[in-house]
Amino acid sequence: MKTIEANGYSSIDELTKSNQKILGRLFYLLGFTLCISRVFFGINMSISDVFMVLLVGYLLLMKKVVFSKQLVLFFIGVICWRLLSTILLSSWVDTSVSLFSVIMTGQKFFVNLLYLILTISILHINPELKKDFLSGVKVGTLFFGCLSMFIFLVAPASLKSFVLFGDLRLKGFMNDPNYFAYLQTCGYCIWYLRPFKGKWKNLIAFMGYTFCILLSASKTGVVAFLVINLLFLIQKLFRKNINVKHLVMTIMTASVLIIGTHFLFADYVSNLIARFLSIPQFVRFEGVFTNFYGAIVAGGSGRTEAWKTAQLLLTRTHFMGIGFVDYSSVALSVSGSPTIAHNTFLQIAVEWGIVPAMMGMLLVFGQFVRKLLLKKWLLCLLILANIIFSFSISLQNSRLLWILVGLLVVKEQGSLVNGKKEQSND
């Protein structure tokens, strides 16, 4: 294994084209299968884990596994901190610490690190290989999203239950509709900035992503989708040389059409809106526009109580966190409810401890700002989508999140090192 200086990476490794092609295809398949996951024996497993293991094995065989010294020291510190918190937890909270719980939680953290190391190592070999991964995510989310909708619309009830959460919310091949909406939103971001060739393919992609997010009935998903589309609209307005006269005329014409339609077809429009809102999946969205805070916080998952439990765990552990002990079991002993934090920032703070969590978040934020200054729009947009979802769901074990962190921290050839700018934008 190699340890590379944290102030930059050496030049791109010269591997044969066939080796790079193998890496690219495996990285593509990893991205393609990210949206297939199920819980087996208490472990959240994904088909992408198979390709992760293959990639790590291949990199070890080629002796191309790469670390940065900064990250190695940081995560050694995190592990030591969490081990200390694990040992001390029983003296802070009335809970038992079982070896099985520690192993299971440690396994999740270890898998996350493997995804991070894998991404850094592949991009060190060739930064262009990230395009294979992003393409895999784009095609995979669209394919499995459309397949899920097809099953939802025409398949028998026995198959529908496989892609539904409860009776109505579409979760695709994921465990939860919110995580399904999260991956669909990320896929949409990639597609929008890197569309397919052909108008029909792009029309299908737009409709597929839109309906998948709506049918998931994820309020956070809809908010993220609206925010991202608003950013796309602003970007279009600023990128093009807008004719002010033409813009004013367009707005006035649209306003006249909307007002005219309202007065001429008031009953029909009201009927249409009422029918739209009567669709069970869309009923959940009404609160987003009438009571945003209540819709996001006081919804079915009881996020307010979950956040209070997370804050209680932080204070009870003197802000050192719960270490490698299962979050749900500790939450159950403290609050009587095994609900996780439903907030990535709180969840990481409770699991890692406040000091490592703050250091990690500052590291990621610093790299995000750097990529923003370098106009890496796609990567920044994906991070923004993760930030929005992080306020209402726990993404600390999200494979995609750790891969994106890997994309953030890698300083590619030509990056902002010693005052030089990166040569290409995402």
Single pTM value for the model: 0.85
Q: How far is CA 74 from CA 105, 206, 321, 352, in A?
A: 19, 41, 17, 12
**Is 50 exceeded by the pLDDT of residue 8?**
no
For residue 294, tell me if it sits in a domain: yes
Q: Which helix (H) or strand (E) holds 40?
A: strand 37-40
**Is 70 exceeded by the pLDDT of residue 112?**
yes
pLDDT tens per residue, range 401-418: 999 999 999 876 533 333
For residue 414, tell me if it sits in a domain: no
pLDDT tens per residue, range 275-319: 555 566 666 666 555 555 555 555 555 677 888 888 999 999 999
Instruction: Please give the pLDDT value at position 277.
Output: 56
Instruction: Please give the pLDDT value at position 334.
Output: 84
For residue 212, tell me if it sits in a domain: yes
For the chain, give me the number of helices (H) and strands (E)?
19, 6
State what percent of residues in the chain have pLDDT above 90.
48
What is d(CA 313, CA 121) in angstroms, rounded to the nearest whole number?
Answer: 36
For residue 1, tell me if it sits in a domain: no
For residue 416, tell me if it sits in a domain: no
For residue 55, tell me if it sits in a domain: yes
For residue 426, tell me if it sits in a domain: no
- Domain of residue 267 covers 17-409
Contact 344, 336 (CB under 8 A): no
- Within 265-353, residue ranges assigned H as helices are 266-278, 280-290, 292-297, 303-316, 327-335, 344-352
Tokens read off for 407 = 């994309």
Q: How many domains does the chain have?
A: 1
Across the range 332-348, mean pLDDT stands at 84
